[in-house]
Amino acid sequence: MSAETMAHIFERFYTTKASGERTGLGLATVYGIVKQTGGHIAVFSEHGQGTTFKVYLPRVAEAVRATSAPERSDSRSVNGHETILLVEDERAVRELARRVLADRGYSVIEARNPEEAVRLADDHGSKIHLLLTDVVMPGMSGYDLAKRLKAQLSDLRVLYMSGYAYDVFAEKGTIKEGSDFLQKPFAPNVLAQRVRETLDRQVEQMKTLESSAS
């Protein structure tokens, strides 16, 4: 890499790829994860020769106890029939999420960016139950997208996902405190469980309101 490129490699959305090929979030996400653990990344690069990344993490003073694997949820409990609007600019993540949700019975509307999501929501003839969206995307953030869609769909549930930690967004006010959030990377069963929990929470809230009204 050139010295100019090296000066920007950890910036969000910075990329040397052609428009539409990359989002420029890969190294920014790695940098955020390493820094959150108290670590450091060193970069060594010679233009035309190659690049080396060295990741330094804090030493663990005590031995880590082995823990048993978490119990897997009954797959029947995370199935559904609702319609989900999936918004993710990273192709691999989007395809994984779509496949996981479709396999569990959900109807998935797939959007590559917020602008496409708005258009698809406008064109969709029936109800959309859940917006599953990345928080950090070029152009419009997932939070702004959610506000825009909820203005049209008042009972729309929202599940945010990101490679950055939840408290980073909460402290900066990027998403509302207490919002449903899914940390990347995630396992398929975790995604299915969080989606089901978010949808079921709406059902419980509606039952509570109906009981109060009666």
**Domain identity same for 83 and 150:** yes
Cβ neighbours around 105 below 10 Å, total: 11
Tell me what the mean pLDDT of segment 146-162 comes to.
92
Residue 137: the pLDDT is 86
Q: Tell me the per-residue pLDDT of 25-48, one tens digit each, with 9 for 90 and over.
A: 578 778 877 887 788 999 999 888
pTM for the whole structure = 0.65
Q: Is residue 96 part of a domain?
A: yes
The verdict on 49 and 86 lying in the same domain is no
Name the pLDDT band for 151 (thresholds 50, 70, 90).
very high
For the chain, what's the residue count?
Answer: 214
Q: Are residues 48 and 153 in the same domain?
A: no
Classify residue 206 as left (phi > 0), alpha (psi -120 to 50) or beta: alpha
Q: How confident is the model over 180-199, as pLDDT tens digits?
A: 999 888 889 999 999 999 99
Q: How far from chain centre, in Å, is Cα 94?
A: 10
Q: Which domain holds residue 148?
A: 76-208
pLDDT of residue 75: 44
Whether residue 177 is predicted with pLDDT greater than 90 in this model: the reply is no
The CATH number given to whatever domain includes residue 129 is 3.40.50.2300
Shared domain check, 108 and 51: no
Number of domains within the chain: 2
